[in-house]
Chains A and B, each alone.
Chain A
Amino acid sequence: MPADSDESTGRGPMTPVLYRVEARHQELADTVTIRIAPVTERLTDPEPGQFEMLLAFGVGEIPISISGLGDGGGELEHTIRSVGAVTKALCTSAVGDLIGVRGPYGVGWDLDRATGHDLLIVAGGLGLAPLRPAMLEALANRHRFGRLVLLVGARDPGSLMFVEELERWRGRFDIDVAVTVDAAPPSWRGDVGVVTKLLSRAPVNFGNTTAVVCGPEVMMRFVAAGLADRGVPPGQIRLSMERNMRCAIGHCGHCQLGPEFVCKDGPVFPWDRMEKLMLVRER
């Protein structure tokens, strides 16, 4: 029988490792980024686009994407929006608190496969969180890509996350950054409109582009369709899907989307595998 991958550590696949909250940053009214560090045992470093299961003891466990890596000490950053009991508990955790962590899980952005392409990163709302490690990896390996373009959509100027970083990136000469919001006061100097409107103006060669997209499902659907229309090969449009995962290892059945287990076959999928599934209501 195949060995349990965690057998060497004596830890079951559902047993978390202890991490301590090292820092906490209020991104938005309902959204917090926590930086956590291993107490003793350290999990494998994640690939950009992978996720982890975070456990608030006594409350519950939830899949959260990784929004940043520390400086080599095994630290992890998670950006969490408070929408339910578990996310609320995680968002209100204080520096020094202990949480349980399992992972990393799933298929990430896999930027290796985009080598030699223009790289188009499209984020909507909280979707910027799992794309941040992709952006950082692309910047660290800037020479491997052609044009590097980041398109960010948000609800309004006050709902933008990672603003300082966005401003820093926008000041660079080797990246194109465009930010658009759905609604803005007259003082806003940036773009207004949905993020799909930025696609035609993205300075990339669509036929030789890899696009990585994360945001609400409807937004990803329209972005992917818009990119495919403009000639990006469907296999090179990669979306990060969200479903209710309980185990993250394909045992609990909750995250099924047609034939796919979002937890282990995803969460990042190419558009050609998602297009039909996303168009079936209540799939």
Chain B
Amino acid sequence: MAMMLSLDAVAALVDHLRNDGRKVIGPVLRNATISLDEIDGVDDLPAGWTEHQDGGSYRLERLDRPELFGHATPALPWKSWLYPPRTMLMRANRDNGSVTIEKPTPGAEPFAFFGIRSCDVHALDILDRVFLDPADPTYTARREKLFVVAATCARPGGTCFCVSMGTGPAPSIGYDIALTELWAGDRHEFLARAATDRGRALLGRLEGRAPTEADLAAADHLVGNATQNMGRQLDPTHPTAAAERYEHPQWEAVARRCLACANCTMVCPTCFCSTTEDTTDLSGAVSERWRRWDSCFALDFSFLAGAPVRSSTKSRYRQWLLHKLVTWHDQFGTSGCVGCGRCITWCPVGIDLTAEMTALALDPGGPS
């Protein structure tokens, strides 16, 4: 089912999602970036803004027309709403030699992701493979209720390489409704496609017109353009070539630049590692266990009986990159990378995993 929506109809779409009881998460201007937060309506979207992204660099820029989706990937990953940075696992109350364990109910109002890019939709599919079996209660409860309104990427960023990873720029899986923002002179419209029953039902509640051949051609043209404008690329044969080069000098080279700050893992839409923290109140009667995001770049991540298995930055970067691009396939049947480019943009020293992969793959790196 496809139809053409005006800006007002798209505004109504957001209103319907909200009126149906969903929290709508979408791109917003925050901290001099296009980031993510709950939106009350289309007015909260960063209309007329885009950004320039490069290794370790991000600048907002104005567009000459009020495009809603004129940006690339937002700074934050969407995973924050399905897999929150902190989750309480349990609370134990000790009283008179007995202990009662309370488990928090993972209840959360249903979310809608509005304007999510295809790379990020693919990231949800990757997280599903981690958290649905065995089921993480919080992720599962939120994921089951999630409504996905994807947006076709018209202006890929300077660090984007979804084409290399086969995840974009046009939404292909995992959405209820996909929007493609189209301009014909001053006429501002959206081609809306529904892929699920609930997506079709929602489109059925909106005013719109049937798309013409010209509308469909314009959408195809936009996707074709975006495909040609990737800021980065990753040769799919490179990870395989680099897979067993554990002692390649490039690991030392990247470790000299890497700060082990963990930014890349925090902004990555698929990084899922976590740790647990235990706290008690002053009396010691009430203790809580919390799960919070962790990073394989943290020194204590690999602690074993008091000392880390991976003490060098080299070994931690190697673990991250080879997990993301190589061993993820063994574990989950897919790459762990969707080509969103966030790890490149938000690396304080601009380390570029596509360049690292190329260096590892093209030079055998001495005797091995």
| Residues of A participating in the B interface, judged by any CB pair closer than 8 Å | 1-5, 7, 11-16, 18, 55, 57-61, 83-84, 96, 98, 100, 242-244, 246-247, 249-254, 256, 258-259, 261, 280-283
CA distance A263 to B236 in the complex (A): 30
Determine whether the beta carbon of A58 is less than 8 Å from that of B287.
yes
Known A-B contacts A61-B276, A281-B315; A15 and B331 likewise in contact (beta carbons under 8 Å): no
Q: How large is the interface on B (under 10, 10 to 19, 20 to 34, 35 or more residues)?
A: 35 or more
CA distance A4 to B279 in the complex (A): 27
Q: Which residue in A11, A15, A244 is a CB contact (below 8 Å) of B302?
A: A244
Stretch at the interface among B89-97, B171-179, B347-355: B89-97
Q: Which residue in A2, A96, A246 is a CB contact (below 8 Å) of B97?
A: A96
Determine whether the beta carbon of B287 is less than 8 Å from that of A57.
yes
CB distance from B272 to the nearest CB of A (A): 6
Determine whether the beta carbon of A4 is less than 8 Å from that of B303.
no
Q: Does B284 contact A (CB under 8 A)?
A: yes
Determine whether the beta carbon of A58 is less than 8 Å from that of B280.
yes
Determine whether the beta carbon of A5 is less than 8 Å from that of B134.
yes
Closest to A242 in B: B304
Other A-B contacts than A1-B144, A254-B301, 5 sampled, CB-CB below 8 A, are A4-B135, A84-B306, A254-B275, A258-B327, A283-B319
Using Cβ atoms and an 8 Å threshold, which residues of chain A touch B275?
Answer: 246, 252, 254
Closest to A256 in B: B323
Using Cβ atoms and an 8 Å threshold, which residues of chain A touch B99?
Answer: 18, 57, 98
Decide if the interface of chain A is mainly helix, strand, loop or mixed. Answer: loop
Contact residues of B between 307 and 364, Cβ < 8 Å to A:
309-312, 314-315, 319, 323, 327, 330-331
Closest to B128 in A: A1
Determine whether the beta carbon of A250 is less than 8 Å from that of B130.
yes
CB distance from A116 to the nearest CB of B (A): 32
Determine whether the beta carbon of A3 is less than 8 Å from that of B331.
no
B273-315 interface mask toward A, CB cutoff 8 Å, 1 = contact, 0 = none? 1111011100010010101001010000111111001111011
Closest to B281 in A: A58
Determine whether the beta carbon of B136 is less than 8 Å from that of A13.
yes
Determine whether the beta carbon of B289 is less than 8 Å from that of A254.
no
A-B residue pairs in contact (CB < 8 Å), sample of 16: A4-B140, A5-B134, A13-B134, A14-B90, A57-B280, A242-B304, A244-B301, A244-B303, A244-B304, A246-B275, A251-B131, A252-B273, A252-B291, A259-B330, A261-B331, A283-B246
CB distance from A260 to the nearest CB of B (A): 8
CA distance A140 to B135 in the complex (A): 37
Closest to B98 in A: A98
CA distance A282 to B308 in the complex (A): 9
Known A-B contacts A1-B132, A58-B278, A259-B327; A12 and B273 likewise in contact (beta carbons under 8 Å): no
Determine whether the beta carbon of A253 is less than 8 Å from that of B136.
no
CA distance A83 to B303 in the complex (A): 12
Contact residues of B between 128 and 162, Cβ < 8 Å to A:
130-137, 140, 143-144
